[in-house]
Amino acid sequence: MVAVQLALARRSREQHRWQTFVGTALAKAAEGLGPVFVKFAQIASYRCDVFPQAILTPLSRLQEGVASPRIQDVRKVIEEAFGRRVSEIFLRFDERPIACGSIASVHVAQLLNGEVVAVKVIRPGVQDAIQRDIMCLRLMVKWIARTKYAEGLPLEAAFEQISQLITAQTDMVEELANLRDFSRMLAQCRNVKVPAPGSGFSPMRNVLLMEYIDDSQTIAEPSISEEVLKTASVHLLRQLYRMIFSEGLVHCDLHPGNVHLRANGTICLFDAGLVSRLSREDRECFKDFFVALATGDANAAAAAIVRSASTVPTDLDQRQLLSEVRNLVNRNTGLPVGQFLVVRFVHEVLELQRRNRLYGSPGFISAIWALAMFEGLIRHRLPDLDFQEEARPYILGTLIQRLGSSYR
């Protein structure tokens, strides 16, 4: 018995070492290959419900620990954007970044009027590097799309959509617009906020000035009590549902480096570069799908899935689809708290779509993806957070609205 236990312990240690080696190798490979690969590694790094922690630990340093650019290059980008020397713009500029990703670094600075701001600076040459990465990946995707394994899959269309999202992250003019829209949306919310965009300067493609928030820590910090974390997470989930169901402006990059908690309990969302804008049709479709799930209506759920598809095959087997959706709804409707897993549900929905050659619109996919990312943030510490319950106000509102319409 002792020999068996020793053998199992040795095997566990060897497995841990191997997984750590794999994670370290993947992190180094991503850094060497380019910013697009780093972005994919960042997305994977917080999925402890999918990958072993020994693999994720080396990857997690890419969330904010990407190697800093040379400070002389950072200064050059700033001076080219402003048309002035750094000393003519700031009283103080901290050369060491407070955050550093594959696309930009963030520095603390003090303006000439004394205001302290955060300055986000695009890495020199990153736009060209991303385009090279995308060109290489596009060739790979085109080759894969022509194999029998990818028959019927809209791989090229999906790749182009993702490429556009990543490319948009290098444009600070677009991120400034996103920040302003989020600021307006959250203006009356005391529990969730984004940094206020800086004023007094014209929008610049490579530099973004915004409010500096210094009393926050990542939501993944173990020292945060479960009670505080649960309260903050519920507030964030409610705002995420509001983004999806009501506003159509969805933050799609909710990894720990971008979600912080302030000392006063306020959630701060950083990095408004990876954002999805849902059309009214996307919002209504997603709302219909959630209502159908909550009420156990397989016919309505199937109709919403078909409506969400960017392409519908002419030979779609409606009976088979309804049977699969009914099984999906029966497995997930009314589950006890903690048993409804968003990431598993998302996987089931995507697999169902794939089998029936129904490929969701970018808006529909981004909505369920944002919820899955949020779950990755908090599920390991808050396994009993009720995702379906928090969606109830939107579901009830929709049902009441439709009941009212039926009596007119």
State the pLDDT at residue 359.
74
Residues of the chain with pLDDT under 50: 49, 403-408
Residue 252 burial (10 A CB sphere; 0-12, 13-18, 19+): middle
Residue 235 burial (10 A CB sphere; 0-12, 13-18, 19+): middle
State the pLDDT at residue 183.
95
CB 93 within 8 A of CB 121: no
3-class SS of residue 190: coil
Across the chain, how many H-helices and E-strands are there? Answer: 15, 13
- The closest alpha carbon to 261, from 311, 299, 226, belongs to 226
State the pLDDT at residue 403.
45
pTM of the model: 0.76
State the pLDDT at residue 330.
87
State the pLDDT at residue 208.
95
- What's the CA dihedral at 100, 41, 219, 282 to 10 degrees? 110
Report helix angle 226-242 to 362-378, nearest 10. Answer: 170
